[in-house]
Structure 1
Amino acid sequence: MDSNGTRFLLLAGAADFHQRSRQCVWDAEAGALTLAPAGEPRLPRLPVDEALALWRGATPYVLDDHGQIARLSADRRRVEFALGWPTTVWDVVRAARVPGDPAAGDLAGATLDAVDAPPGCTFTDLHLGGSGLLAAPFTDGGSVHGVLAVHLRHRWQARCPTPIGAVRAWVDAADQVWLLAATDLMLCTGAPLLQPYTPRADRFEPLVVEPDPLRCVWQQTLPGQRGVLALAADDESLFILALAVEGNDAAPRQVVFARPLAPSATAAFSQHALPEELPLAVDLAALGGQRVILLPPLENGAARTLRRDCPVVSLATPTARLLPERWPRRSEAGVRFVRQRDNLVRQLADDGVHRLYRLAQARYRPSGRALLGEHPALDSGTPGVLWDRVYLEASIPPGCTIDVGARAADDWDALADDADDLYEAQPAPLWSPLASELPFATGRAAPLAGRSGLFEVLLQRPNGAVREVRGRYLRLALRLSGDGRHSPAIYALRVAYPRFSWQTHYLPDHFQQQEAPSARLPAEAVPANGADLRERLLACFYGVLTPLEDRIAAAETLLYPHAAPRAWLPRLAEMLGTRLRPHWSEQRQRRWLSALGSLQAHKGSFAGLCQALDLITDGAVGRGQVVPVELFRLRRTLATVLGVSFDDARHPLTLGTGQSGNSIVGETLILSADQATEVLALFAPGLAPEGNEREQVEHFFDEYARRLTVVLHGPARALQTVVEEVLPELVPAIVQWNVVASEHPFVLGLSPLLRIDTYLETQPPPARVRLDESRLGRGDLLQNPVALSPENARPMAPIDPRGDWA
């Protein structure tokens, strides 16, 4: 609401700009309404029977972290690997022997056994994911079914039976194995012990040796379909590609089932029918945002090099929608996506494994129409309201235009017709030099004269004696046009109502409007009457002067740290007698200015120091990662060196575990008067000669009473420079301070005595051993690489973010 009481309705998101037309779409990445992309995927059209034959004989491939590739052997009895592609040398993957299997007869098998299927069984699929877990379901075609899991880092093997045979497998980020059968979905979890355990009869043994063995947890029946084809997942959802019930062998239809990636057998499936015009796909992969990419086999002949794109579909609606994007392949050496732990889309070409990228060349529809005001409705709540103007935060590149049409009525049913000729054309949007008409607001589009920033449209009818746009409800028709390479973008739209009329409020009655707008526009051109002309002329001045009045009325905003513009923060700091470090984040600067009054009231005290450090470290003091400790710990009482007394509950050394002022914790910290000499001798032997012990003890206490140590725990070590920068201003000059960084979190008064980790937090995973940095027994571990062949592990070349087609 502005200073005159004019309100506005805001449209600023995907739900607000929802409209039925596909000519204009909401670009989630740009956060704007744009013309729909016009890219036409070049999809192969291999006959259905040939595509299904390729699917039946397809070999799954996986890629490890070092560029080594693995597949199922020709007889599907073993998992074999090669150091690169193309290659003719394949070797079997090896890991520890599966518990219960007979010992190998050769020396190589006695150390690492081959990864193969049980006798009489063959593998049906292969997938690598999670922390390095390789999963391969197997079956004998009869009653024996299961899955073999191999961890490439720990090199263990484990098998578990399943109720039915699986045809596809997927390992998610939590090392859960999802198995897809013809009619069911199964979930397997667990892992064996990292070291073999042998029970002994002369001691008590646990009832269960393996607390979490690999096992099948549950199975869930799939919705109706004629056959499953592929399985994929992202961080949130699981996707299944299947043949739909509606199709037949000659003209199959495909469907994608989606369900949350949650370990629950009751999660519901959503069904998304694929468009009929798509070719038969034999594999799929997830792109995130409810988008999946499909893999149709390439054609034979000359078309093989012409139509090489993979279709991408959106599953946001019950019927999947083909997106106008191009994801080309170089060639085709396999009709399955190559799976890797990072879950990026890769495909096996003749010259190696390549990641697929979307072609970045922009192509848009030449024009598009978007109708706004249906969901949600632009409802003023007042019949006969006079709609004022439309503000657009938009970008209009050269060669592009945005045209606005408007309709208003008191009856919603009167606006149901969407015909173009019913929307009254509005003047062209006028660029404003203001970032926003709202006081001190930063616009969503960077200001660029005539092209980007804030645009304004004064709502009016194009013909008639009275050209007011009146009615409770308003609908807008936006016509976007471009040159095919660029598109206008609308980031936000605000509709102001009711119009504050200067003519009505400040001029005599004989200047007022005496007529009402006609129900329909006249067929012939009718000039506006004098009152209407004055009304719109004054409204133009209103649009320029009112934002200035609003900024004056809201000038107090500049004095609020959380509301002032960022450019004003240094001036506000100068007014408050402080300065802001330019490298501080904006939120840290605002919090510092907001708490400045409290900091001044407690400056020089321990509480003020803790508050200030908590602000500049973004809450690290409250989280316990930064602990200021005054070295008064040898005093008998808990009085601070800065003159503030606090109880044991806030003691930084013990965090409330002390018993009294005489004994903080443990025998080594008893500070009674008769043991002062002994304690003094432990910490400063030179200050404890015979005689005058009391004077020496008092001198020792006074010396330590003016010392401060700031302990940085774990992640807070990165804040050492920030802390050291501000301590000279926060600590009194008579107090000596230093900063100590520690890798391991602990409570100072407890951890040395109890020899346990007394600071509760999530245990970070062990790091790899680093030369000249790691300490023996301090957490760093020698770790196997996640590699099919660890002895041949080599660093992979970095992925070019521009893609293979750069």
Structure 2
Amino acid sequence: MKNVNGARFQLLLGRGDWGRCVDSDAAGALPLAAWWSGASSPAAALPATLPAWDLGRDELMLRPRAIELPATLAETPLTLHARRGAAADRHGNVYRIADDRRSLHVASVGSGNDSLFWPAEPAGCAPQRAQARLAFDTHAPAIAATPETYFAMAVTHDDWLVVAFERGALRGLLSFDLIAGGQPLDTPWPDAVPFAPFDMCARDGGGVWILDRENLRLWELDCTLAIVRSGQPLAPLAPEVVDDFQPLSGPQRVHAAVDFPGGLDLAASPGWVMDPIAVEPGLAGSVWLLDRDELSQQSRVVRLRRNGQAWSRDASDWLPGLPAPAHDFVHAAAPRWPCADAASAKQLFVSTTVGNQVHVFDVLDDGPLFALHELPQLYPLRRYGGRALIVVRGDGRYDSGLALPVWTLFVQQPRARFETEADLVTPVFDSGELGTTWDKLLLDAAIPAGTTVKIWSRAADEHDGFEDAFASPSGAAQLVGGWNDEPMPLLRPDGSELPWLRRDAVRATRREAGQGTWELLFQAAQGRYLQLKLRLRSEHGTNTPRLRALRVWSPRFSYPQRFLPAVYGEDEACANFLERWLANFESTLTGIEDKVARAQTLFDARTVPAEALGWLAEWFDLALDPAWDERRHRLFVRHAMDFFRWRGTVHGLRLALELAFDPCFDPKMFDGPRDGDEGPRRIRIVETYRTRLIGALAAGDPGAAPLQGDALQLVATQTAWTPAEGSTGLVDRWARWQGRTASSSEQLAPFPLVSPANDADAWVAFSRSALGFVPAAGAQERARWQAWLLARHGGREQVNQQHGTAYASVADIALPVDAPSNPQAAADWAAFSERSDGAWTRARWQDFLARRYRRIDRLKTAHGTHWSDFHLVALPDALPASRAAQTDWLQFEGQLLAMHRTAHRFSVLLPVASVSAGPYELEERLGLARRVVDLEKPAHTVFDVRFFWAFNRVGEARLGQDTQIGAGSRAPELIPDAVVGRAYVGASFVAGPPMNPSMNRGASHGLLQ
């Protein structure tokens, strides 16, 4: 980027640029990135003068110091006898082993109470309760007389609570189903296999890891609690047996011997572990062991990974930051410490026997690399009892040490301490021109009170001189005159020198003292190549300067050389002073000229400042929605002409709705409709006319599907009736539909287009099957004609008398098939035809015939009638006699009326992808969609806005290219959170993270695999 005077800057921004800086100007100096990644040496060997990188804020800073809380005289060191198993389920309920190891307790997240979980009966009450229960229930399970002792527990990823127990001489596992409830599954352990579980944790994919500290063995159990073979068999369970039934030919059928699979023998590999005390699931299917050496008072973390049938072991270095042996550890989420370089959002928390704080480590677990980097964070533990460190909904917690423990969250105490000084040397900047006069240095930084940033520079025209200078400091002094001391940078009052960024910088300066753009003018930096040395300093170590970006500008635009006579440069000392003094004015004026020169950026939606987007949108008479983010504002303004091009179309409506609802809007939608615009979770616009032939489901509207009772409507695929069959063919079809044969008199009579009173449902179903629709226009017109005649003449007898007819009942009064020959009947029909009620359908029928035949004589010939004018032609209430009349009626009522009913109507369907969406939120979405559509739709159209389920439901299915098959009935979107007033008992669960749907909850539990 160049300014109006031709000067340009070179930039250091982000970790990649700052990581190319080196830690000193001595020979063999390492880049900062090598120190930050931990590839150069362990964390304990980091020099105190090394700057750190703030990952959270993307800034360079002084290196933080670790804070150690010393043990007090009143604190008793923790021992492993204080450890008790504890674990939390996905909802936050914490299960623990009591201090006497004879019962299990649960701390409910809802009530906050700590209550007995198992055994179901308190000690001493079991025999009496058992006798009373057996008196009423002969199938009640017997209660064990021998009390159980519990050692370790874990909650699996598929919601099983697994507890290791001892009952007399019997040892094994209890498995509680935390979803279905009920009695636990008892899985005994063979007596011949040593089993002394000390710690347990959940295994990825279901199951548990069990650490046997006494026998130095690690057991891996899958989701069915079957042991995954990791070593040699330990004990035979069943000998080889010859089957009683043998084949007539071939080899003998033998049942192979069954042995007990062995776990991973930690003692068989010398040096792997010394004294493992805790187990925790690692990354990518690995498992971590907390190992310690009591003699040397050191601790470490060992990673074990399965490679096929073999196991590999990687151990971290002995943790130097621990003042005492480790006591427990947990891998949990925590607020990110900014200077760490970790691949995971979780951190490792390790407690020691001191028990007054947890030490935090970032874990580097990437294939063959495994290392721990201690973070200088202070997480104090108040009244830690040493029972357990657990993970509750991803967060690390510890017990309070009370009789009824409260599981307290790890909370960082913001007590920051920093090293007092750090040095770095930048890469070599190349101006590309010999003898360049470097102009100025600008730092986007926060330099609060009590901190400073000192800068030195050196420049030369030969790049080889810089390379030699790194190897020979004395040569550097000869080549470039050593480091030149530059003045202290000053905070610019008007913010950044870059156009359109100043206002943001001014606001930042107000938010935090010392934050903004700092500037210094180079005093004597001349040469093609430039290098800088920076020293960050904190007076008391309680605060740190933070550097975000560094910009070096060159070459300097010299006002004395451009605008003053040469006489002003004859005196070297005065010329240097004048050059630097006028450079201050040049910097101010150049900023103003830059804004003028770059005014075109205000007219491009991609570069215009955010505060000017509304002004640019007004050029198109647009009003930007304040609820949109800046990205959507820019896209909308940038594609305003494309938006107006599609306005009023289906794609234009979808475009406006996607802009309003989709935060990840795809700008390619402005190009036009695409196949992917109608996905299972996308907004749908269904034009009603499309549902005439293919149905609502096929058109994309699952909520408008007609139902018969509780089932979907079934439409048989068959050939529809055509006028070629005549009325006789339709009558025969109707008789076959009723399961009979039509009589000769029925075949002579026309098929009624009015529903019969005695078999209306069958007639409707038959009409849909044979005609494709249910006739209704003639029946409605007939009812109006009957009502009008009765009101005009006073009754059926009077109608018969005036018209010369012999109707047996009012229901028999039919519409005229031809022009009435009776004068009174003709007069009545002419008067009725002038009425306005029902005139729309009648007028459409008469207009349809007039457009088709043009002259009334053609209609008479085609229909075989004697109507004198088109406006007198009656709607048929029975199938017409001639084929032409039948064709006209079929097209009119089967197609034209259906088109009129569905023309200019459409439905907007908003997806609902979760059953837990609140009613207020849904109503708000509906209101917003109505406002958007009402603004963008064509004026003559009518619409409605509804929701549709973005997944298949029982009784409703639409299978096509956009169909997605979910996780079934245990999918998170089908299991709403239990909220009072919005959920039913038994239809939802307490809110929590969704379980893995791939877990097999129906598998049987056992110890063999």
Normalised by the length of structure 2, the TM-score is 0.58
Question: What amino acid maps onto 1:690 in structure 2?
Answer: D
Return the offset for 1:733. Answer: 0.9
> In the alignment, which of 870, 877, 880 is matched to residue 690 of structure 1?
877
Q: Deviations over 1:691-744 (max 9, x none)?
A: 656444523412311101011121395743332221112110111011011245
Separation in 1, partners of 2:555, 2:306? 51
Unaligned stretches of 5+ residues in structure 2: 20-31, 36-45, 122-129, 227-259, 334-344, 667-676, 703-713, 724-766, 781-840, 842-874, 879-888, 915-921, 993-1009
Report the structure number with the largest CA radius of gyration.
Answer: 2
**Is 1:12 paired with 2:14?**
yes
Match in the other structure for 1:501: 557
> In the alignment, which of 250, 255, 278 is matched to residue 323 of structure 2?
278
Match in the other structure for 2:430: 380
- Give matches, 1:90-169, under 5 Å: 92-93=118-119, 124-128=151-155, 130=157, 132-137=159-164, 148-155=174-181, 157=184, 159=187, 167-169=198-200
Match in the other structure for 1:556: 600
3-state SS, counterpart of residue 345 of structure 1:
strand
Match in the other structure for 2:299: 254
Separation in 2, partners of 1:444, 1:184? 60
> In the alignment, which of 911, 917, 931 is matched to residue 713 of structure 1?
911
Return the offset for 1:585. Answer: 2.2
Q: Deviations over 1:388-426 (max 9, x none)?
A: 33222222334443333334563235246999x965432
Return the offset for 1:581. Answer: 1.5
Question: What amino acid maps onto 1:599 in structure 2?
Answer: F
With 12-21 and 535-544 compared, the bigger mean Cα shift is at 12-21
Return the offset for 1:493. Answer: 1.8
- Give matches, 1:575-654, under 5 Å: 575-618=619-662, 619=665, 623-624=679-680, 625-635=682-692, 652=700
87 and 597 in structure 1: CA distance in 2 versus 1, 3 angstrom threshold: closer
**Is 1:440 paired with 2:533?**
no
Q: Deviations over 1:312-340 (max 9, x none)?
A: 34456977554443322222333432453
Separation in 2, partners of 1:513, 1:112? 106
Separation in 1, partners of 2:509, 2:990? 55
3-state SS, counterpart of residue 583 of structure 1:
coil
Question: What amino acid maps onto 2:323 in structure 1?
Answer: L
> In the alignment, which of 219, 225, 230 is matched to residue 273 of structure 2?
225
**Is 1:455 paired with 2:548?**
no
Q: Deviations over 1:15-56 (max 9, x none)?
A: 7254665464333334433344456321438999x968x215
Return the offset for 1:431. Answer: 1.9
Match in the other structure for 1:364: 417
**Is 1:431 paired with 2:491?**
yes
Match in the other structure for 2:774: 681
Q: Deviations over 1:485-515 (max 9, x none)?
A: 544332x12232432433697369958999x
Separation in 2, partners of 1:734, 1:361? 64
3-state SS, counterpart of residue 689 of structure 2:
coil
Separation in 1, partners of 2:529, 2:698? 61
3-state SS, counterpart of residue 578 of structure 1:
coil
- Contact map agreement 1:6 1:500 (CA 8 A) in 2: no
Question: What amino acid maps onto 1:573 in structure 2?
Answer: A
Return the offset for 1:353. Answer: 1.7
The structure with the greater share of residues assigned to helix is 2
**Is 1:346 paired with 2:407?**
no
Match in the other structure for 2:975: 766
591 and 418 in structure 1: CA distance in 2 versus 1, 3 angstrom threshold: farther
- Contact map agreement 2:441 2:522 (CA 8 A) in 1: no
> In the alignment, which of 529, 537, 542 is matched to residue 472 of structure 1?
529
3-state SS, counterpart of residue 501 of structure 1:
coil
Return the offset for 1:14. Answer: 7.6
Q: How many residues align?
A: 697
- Contact map agreement 1:178 1:185 (CA 8 A) in 2: yes
Return the offset for 1:181. Answer: 5.3
267 and 679 in structure 1: CA distance in 2 versus 1, 3 angstrom threshold: farther
**Is 1:337 paired with 2:389?**
yes
Separation in 2, partners of 1:708, 1:264? 62
- Contact map agreement 1:60 1:338 (CA 8 A) in 2: no
Q: Deviations over 1:262-307 (max 9, x none)?
A: 99987874624300662112101234446422212348xxxxxxxx
3-state SS, counterpart of residue 229 of structure 1:
strand
239 and 274 in structure 1: CA distance in 2 versus 1, 3 angstrom threshold: farther
Return the offset for 1:755. Answer: 13
Separation in 2, partners of 1:370, 1:683? 91
- Contact map agreement 2:445 2:518 (CA 8 A) in 1: no
Separation in 2, partners of 1:445, 1:145? 70
Q: Deviations over 1:546-590 (max 9, x none)?
A: 333333333333233233221111111111222211222222222
Return the offset for 1:670. Answer: 9.4
Question: What amino acid maps onto 1:33 in structure 2?
Answer: L
Return the offset for 1:6. Answer: 1.2
Match in the other structure for 1:804: none
Question: What amino acid maps onto 1:594 in structure 2?
Answer: R
Question: What amino acid maps onto 2:408 in structure 1?
Answer: R
578 and 220 in structure 1: CA distance in 2 versus 1, 3 angstrom threshold: farther
Separation in 2, partners of 1:217, 1:728? 71
Separation in 2, partners of 1:553, 1:75? 80
> In the alignment, which of 52, 55, 58 is matched to residue 83 of structure 2?
58
3-state SS, counterpart of residue 251 of structure 1:
coil
487 and 594 in structure 1: CA distance in 2 versus 1, 3 angstrom threshold: same
- Contact map agreement 2:416 2:543 (CA 8 A) in 1: yes
261 and 418 in structure 1: CA distance in 2 versus 1, 3 angstrom threshold: farther
Separation in 1, partners of 2:55, 2:489? 24
Question: What amino acid maps onto 1:681 in structure 2?
Answer: V
**Is 1:33 paired with 2:60?**
yes
Match in the other structure for 2:223: 190
**Is 1:732 paired with 2:938?**
yes
Question: What amino acid maps onto 2:18 in structure 1?
Answer: D
Separation in 2, partners of 1:269, 1:597? 61
Separation in 1, partners of 2:168, 2:564? 95
Match in the other structure for 2:2: 2
Return the offset for 1:90. Answer: 5.2
28 and 633 in structure 1: CA distance in 2 versus 1, 3 angstrom threshold: same
Separation in 2, partners of 1:355, 1:261? 35
Q: Deviations over 1:145-186 (max 9, x none)?
A: 976543322237555989985543222685453444566765
Separation in 2, partners of 1:683, 1:129? 63
Q: Percent identity?
A: 19
Match in the other structure for 1:481: 538
120 and 670 in structure 1: CA distance in 2 versus 1, 3 angstrom threshold: farther
Match in the other structure for 1:570: 614
Return the offset for 1:609. Answer: 2.2
With 104-113 and 540-549 compared, the bigger mean Cα shift is at 104-113
Separation in 1, partners of 2:263, 2:635? 50
3-state SS, counterpart of residue 316 of structure 2:
strand
**Is 1:393 paired with 2:459?**
no
Q: State the superposition RMSD in angstroms.
A: 5.4
